[in-house]
Structures are given as C-alpha cells and as structure tokens.
Structure 1
Amino acid sequence: MVVDDATAGNGMPVHSYRLSTVVPGSVTGEAVDYELADADLLHKLHYLRAVHVFRAPAPGAAAVTVRDLKEPMFPWLDMYFPVSGRLRRRQAEADGEKAEAAAGRPYVRCNDCGVRIVEAACDATVDEWLEAEAERGGLSKALAYDKVIGPELFFSPLLYVQVTSFKCGGMALGFTWAHLIGDIPSAAACFSTWAQLFSGKKPPAPTLRDPLARPPSAAAPAGVTAPPSVKATAAPVGDHWAVPITRDMVPFSFHVTEQQLEGLQLGRQVGTFELVVALMWRALAAIRGPDEEEATRTVTVVRTTNPVPATSGGRLGLTNEHRIGHVIAVGPSSPAAADVSKLAALLAGARLKGVGAVAAAALAGAEDADVVVYGANLTFVDAESLDVYGLELGAWRPAHVEYAVDGVGDGGAAVVHRDAGGRGRAIAGVVRRGEADRLRAALRDALRVA
C-alpha cells in the first residue's frame, strides 16, 4: 500500500502497512459507557493529527522496536480507557421513555476493543525527509494513518498510532485522534502520558469525568442561532463521519523562523499568532480572488487552553475546552489588500466563547446534528501555549513535530504552534489543491519584505 496524496512524486512513498491492535491491560468493566458532551459532538466530523519524527539512535544505542512501544500502552490504556472503546447510539426502546429525547445520540461503549497500531516503512532517511519537508511541506500527512469513523461505528477505532520506520533507523510516530474524545491539549497530554510510561516515569493518573454521567448541556438562550464560526452540513452524514467537501483538500505546512518572526514583529504591537495567520489570511484571500471576496472576509479563530497538571489540581483528562470565535474584515477593500497589522489587530480582538456555549447554539437540542467547525470558514487554531516537543522517548527527543486538524471543510484550516527551538512558529494546515505552492511562495515573499 502506498499513500497517494499531495506528496506523490516526492520519491518518499510510505508503504508496507501492517495493522494490529493494543487493548488495555485489564478489563474496564461490564457495560461501562462514556457519555459525550455537546462540545464533544460538535467536533465529531473532525480529527487531530500529531506526528513526531525521531532521528536514529546514536551508534551503540539500543534500537526501539514496535514491541517496545506497545509494552507501555497496556497500562496507558487502563488510564485512558475510553480511547479504547467504540461508538454506539442510544436506542430509545432499550433505554425507556426517559431516554426518548436522547435516541440516536452517540456515546462510547468502553468495551476495550483497543487502539489500532499501524506499522509502515519510508524509503528515505530522516534527514532526507526533513529536507524535503522544509522545501515542499505537507509530508507529515503520510506519517499518520488516514482513516475516519464509519460507516460502521461498531468497528471504528478512535485512535490510530502509526509507526513509520526510515531506512536510516529513524522513526516517526503518527497519531490520528478522533476530535470528539478531546481537543489538542487533551490529545497532547494523553500522548505524553504514554511517553512517560515508556521512559519509566510514573505520570499522574488522568482525571476523567464520570463515564456513566452525561455532562450537562449548556442551554442556549431562546432565539439564538449558530454563530458564523460553525455551519451545518448540507445533508446528514449518517454513520460515515467525514466532512462533505466540494473541493480536493491537501496538506500544507510552513516554518517561520525566529529571525523572520522578529522582522515581522518590528513596530507591531500584536501577538505572534495574529501576525502569522494575518499573513496567511491575506495571501489566501489574494489567491482565491474577487469571486470569493465575501467568503474570505470571515475567518474562524480557535484558541486552545493549556491544561494545568493534575498534580496542581488541574484536569489531565479527555475534554474539549477550547474557545471559538470569528472576525469579519469590513470595509471597501478585500483582506487581500489589507495591511497585515490591521488584520492582526482584528484577529487579536476576536470575541471568543467557550466551546460548550458554541455547541449549545449550534446543536440547538439536536442529539445528532452534523456541523463543521474547522473549514466552515478559513480557520486558524492557536496552539502556541502547548509544548508539542515535550513527548520524549527516554533520551530520544523529536527532531520534528507537527500538530494539525483533519476532516476540514472547503474553507481550509491551519494550526500554529512553536517550533523545535520554541521561538519560531510552525504552520500545519489543510488548503485546497492548487493553493499550497502559491501560498508557500506568497508567505516567503511577505516574510522576505518584513
């Protein structure tokens, strides 16, 4: 099997896929159900992709095998048992009249079916891969298994872990995570817990909400409609949880160095996230042209919240707790002609709401509404506060990390997080086919001028 995507023709196919399953080390229990909050179901069509690339161990050091990686997964999945479950729907006739209103609502049956492990190979060294990624971008997509939930909910894993071996002895870990079980900070904390177990450390146990209690829904005020940051699908998707799109979408990535960022910030009193995505907003508005001027005036902003460690009384569990909002560029001129500082100031002033409140308005009491968050408009995700390079396998630190969202609508989306040094920024996005090379060239030109 060879991945065929935007990276085709780069001479680095990923192939030789082998699938297996890892389950929790102990039985979770009888008929344990993990109830999903409205904030979780708001993201049921979306997925998170996290890729960590490691160079080969030093000469003489022991190589890491797939069996070594699997060993700490048994106690890890004991801690995060809902991740091993499978989705079900409420049946009114089985649950009684009290559950009539909840008929069809998805939940996770914690039946210990496990997470899927994918072994693959890449015909390149890590250094060759990193060089190609820096030049072209978008290569991380092939290092995380591309699979959505459905069309049979009963058999769809909520997490895939792909282990890709490079010919030099290096390795990539790619996680494909169903967004409905947690946002980027939740996913990062979960993956880091596994890495700590691998390294022989004893991480704090995650604080999961009571799996048997349905989290309360945030009541939307009467007459409130879904905000522009969220849009309903044109037709129900049923049990095949993929965002309906009319355009071919491809991965995009770009690195803004510390030096480029310093030049961009000169004389500007706004944050790095706002400046970086303002450049991308302006460039894509120019690429999409006057026919889509009105559509590109509105962008969605998602800000992640960095969880407090459980040892400090915080939550290290599975939650969707980010904030969502939107901004509209008003005025006679298109965002394509706007000053970067003005767009950045507009983004900085975005009024954001907790995801629970957004879900209450978007779902409006429906138990199984189909909505799009990422890509409903051009969407930017602020993940700057996260230490995405914190996942270390003993003394083995990743050479490259990328966090991105998949299952993105036609508007496209991008996640911005810190680079390996912590001072530059990495952009990992999904854009329309034909836009990636033009966007990369536009960003390079803009940063050169800055």
Structure 2
Amino acid sequence: MKPSVHEVTPDQQARAVLVSLVTQSLKREENYDPDYSLAELIRLAETAGVEVLGTLSQNKEYADSKWFIGKGKAQELKDELEALGANTAIFDQELSGAQVRNLEQFLDVKIIDRTQLILDIFAGRAKTREGIIQVELAQLSYLLPRLSGQGKNLSRLGGGIGTRGPGETKLETDRRHIRDRISELKRQLQEVVRHRVLHRERRKKTGVFQVALVGYTNAGKSTLLRQLTQADVYVENQLFATLDPTSRALKLPGGMEIVLTDTVGFIQNLPHDLVAAFRATLEEANEADFILHVVDSSTEMMEVQMHVVDEVLEELGAHGKERLTLFNKTDLLPPKQREMLTTEGEFLRISAYSEQDLGRILDALERHLMGDSRTFRIPAEKGDVISLVYRVGEVLENEVDGGDMLFKVRVNNKEYDKLGYLLAAYDSAQLIHGENEGETSEYV
C-alpha cells in the first residue's frame, strides 16, 4: 500500500493541529475553562515534541457519535490540515475507537486524543521498572477497547507521537495476547507494590518522619526537592518532568532527619487508566506523615490547579492529612499580587531559588514536626534505643544518672506515640508512662 503523504515516520516530527470540542456538559463543570484546557493541551503537545501549527475549537450541544466534531467542522479541519501541511490532529477530549477510525479515514492523518498524548509523555519519562510497568499497563488498558478503531495506525508502525513504549510492539497483537500481557503486568506490579510496602514499613519502624511533595504538574516540586536536599534529580520547565517518585534525606535545623519524597504531578482530566496504574506511586502521599502542597502562583489557573490536587488527594484518602501550602514562583509576581496569595490553613509564599525562603520552609517543617519536650530514662548500655531517640526527636539535653541516661527531647505527640511503640518493641525497654516537660518518661 502506498504510504500517505501525512504518515509520520520515525525521523519525522509530528506537526499537528489541536482540536477542542466544548459541549454543554463540559460548560456545566465548575472548574472547566475551555481556553485553559486548550492552552494546557498545547503545552502537553510541545512536551511530547510536537510542532503545534494551529488550533480549532467548536461549541456543540453534544459530541457527534461518528465524527466527534460535526461533519462540516471535520471538513474545515481537513482543509486546515492540508493548508498547513500537518500530519497529526490532536483532540482535547477522549475519542472512541469508531471516532478515531472515521476521522483517520476522512482526514488521512494520525489521530491522537488527550489521553493518548499524556500516555505518550509518560512513556518517554518512565525510567524505573515500576514506572515502565505502570505506563505499559495504562497504555494497553487504553488500547484494548480501541483496537478495532485504530484503522491505518495498526498497519503503519511508523513511530512518532502516540506509538512510543508498547505502542510500537503491541498494536498488531490480538486482544487475547494483550489481555494476557495486562494480566502479567498486573502481577509484576503487585510484586513491585509489595516491595514498596516493605520499604514503607521499614521506614516507619526506624521512626523516620516522611514528608511528601504534591502539586499540579510543573508547580516546582522537583526544583524544591533539589534545592532542599541537593538531590540529583531531573528538573525542567515542562509538564511531567518527574514521573518516578524520588525520596531524599533532609536534615532540619535542629538536627532531626526526615525523608522528603517528590511525587508525580497531577493534571486536569488525568486518564483513569493512568490513575489506576499509578496508584502505588501516588500513595506515597497517602503514606506520608505530612504533606507539602506546592502551588504555581504565577499561573492564572492557580485556584483550578489547587482544586484538582485537592480532588486527587481526597480520592487517595489523603485529604485530611496535615499539610503546609507553598505558593511557589512568587519571584515572578508583582509585590501586590504576591501579598494577595492566601488559602485556608497554614501557607508560605516562597521561591524555590531563595535561600531565605528555603530556610523558612525548614523552620516551618520543624515547628510542625517537633512538639513538646519530654524526658526519657534509658539504660546507658542500650545504644540502639538511644540512637532511636536521636533519630525521632531533637535531643535538647542529656546527662548521666547512675547507670541510666536522661534525655530531654523535643518530640511532637504523633512521634511520641510512635516512639513509645518502638521503644516498647525492644526487649530492653517497657513504656511505663509519658508526660509533658517537667515529668519523666521512664523505661526499665
């Protein structure tokens, strides 16, 4: 078969027209902004390496079951694609297999929807075994019901946008083979999740306090992690620059060491298959003792992005966790606009590149994590128990009292309960009582 003039070859950049259909149901959604959604689609396309040649929008009561957009609009899109020399059409909403097939046959270009575009970006970002498994699982789950709708894409393994990762090797396999592969990936992912749970439990047993960085994609989480911990992490001004969670040790001014974890960024209309596949990764937020919600204060859609993060945290069961909101990128705002930044609960206005602001974050974390001072009596020969006290709290004073050591330690209530549980687990100690400063928590 003679290849189409619009076929995307491996060494050819995708040149696309972006299409948005605004239906009545979308207009009724509280936080939906068609202009912002289309602007975000442009950024997604650019992140995926697509050259955006133009955009096309349509207002319609509901989507056309055959063409998604109306037949007349489809003809208008075809004319624009030919005039611009585009080889790809990217839709801001999710398409059915039949719609993909019909549009591809009529337009003679590659058809990509928002979900497939995000999956393609994730395929390029995944580096760890867990991330690669999760992306492939999400891609195959997306492709399975659409195999009959792939049309020429099934015979055109030309590469390019929308066919990275398993796309190049799995599109021509039958449904049974894909189902088998999905089952195998789920089994592998369960094993990875089991190891992740073991690591979490190990961190809990050591008494290390865990803090998760969460936020909308490109809010500056990875930059903040790098600036606070000098971590060698990938930082770039693009969507989903970070896919795999990264944990680094962070020492607070008082000497207490905590674990700071960067998580995958959230986005509006994150594909359901992707949320399901990445649940194990996102649950880093759910397992954390404290959450730093990083917000891009320089975007006009700041409130919408904050709402999206709240929704995802609620879905994960982490909405009620103690958190501190960080309004990042305030260096890009005029002073008056900066002072207007506010939200419920505690917050800081910061720039990730300001040493002074980084110090304020560390001080705020220490205030949250460290509470009242307590006094502990521990046998001097129990070095493992003494080491645990230093890890969990901030030792203010210590002295020898006969064969015991007395430690005055600043520790919050949650960590105090954890410390009591951990100390009781040692054969060397049994918790008798524990009070605030002025009384003694004795272990015999």
TM > 0.5 fold call:
no
Q: Give 1 or 2: higher helix fraction.
A: 2
The higher radius of gyration belongs to 2
TM score, norm. by length of structure 2: 0.23
TM score, norm. by length of structure 1: 0.23
Higher RCO (CA-CA < 8 Å; seq separation 6+): 1
